Amino acid sequence: MDEFIYMPWSNMYSTGYSKIDEEHKKLVDILNTLYGDIVESKTTEDYTDFQETVKTLLDYAREHFSHEERLMNLLNYPQYYRHKIRHDKFLSDISKQSELYKVDPKPISSQFLIYIRDWISEHIAVEDKDMVLYVVNHLKDQQT
């Protein structure tokens, strides 16, 4: 729902590589949906939408990270492993937490949303911007 904007998109998050930026916007959209689901579940006590959106977030993050990792690999990005470790950590933290929420979603905490929001914004601002800088410079030689 439109009124639930937990993390507004900002140009600050633009890396300058439109395909990657579109994928980041989609991640932010999913986070905003998740926020709306949590707000609703507090009144309805129905956590179905929340559980589905967590799954969507994990699936989409996996797909997006694989895209970045393929690009980094293709162009021999020197920070590939460091970057991949950050992706893997995010996926494992969210998976672990979502398993706990499957058993009992009642204690969903704002920390969960804060973790996702801060991770996305910090990761884009630091690691992804650095990666894109390298990628656009090296793609010129590859004609991809």
Residues of the shown chain interacting with Fe ion in the complex, contacts defined by CB under 5 A: 68, 128
Name which of 23 and 37 has its Cβ closer to Fe ion: 23
Residue 63 CB, nearest approach to Fe ion (Å): 12
Q: Least distance (Å) from Fe ion to the CB of residue 83?
A: 6
Q: Cα–chain-centroid distance for residue 59?
A: 10
Q: Cβ 90 to Fe ion, closest distance in Å?
A: 9
CB environment 52-65: b (16+ within 10 A), e (fewer): ebbeebbeebeebb
SS3 109: coil
Which of 21, 128 has the CB closer to Fe ion? 128
Residue with tokens 């969210």: 94
Q: Which is nearer to Fe ion, 42 or 70 (CB)?
A: 70
- Which pair of structure tokens corresponds to residue 137? 């410079």
> What angle, rounded to 10 degrees, do the helices at 110-123 and 18-44 form?
170
Of residues 128, 49, 52, the one with CA closest to residue 90: 128
Using DSSP's 3-state secondary structure scheme, residue 85 falls into helix
Min dist CB 138 to Fe ion, Å, is 16
Q: Which is nearer to Fe ion, 29 or 130 (CB)?
A: 130
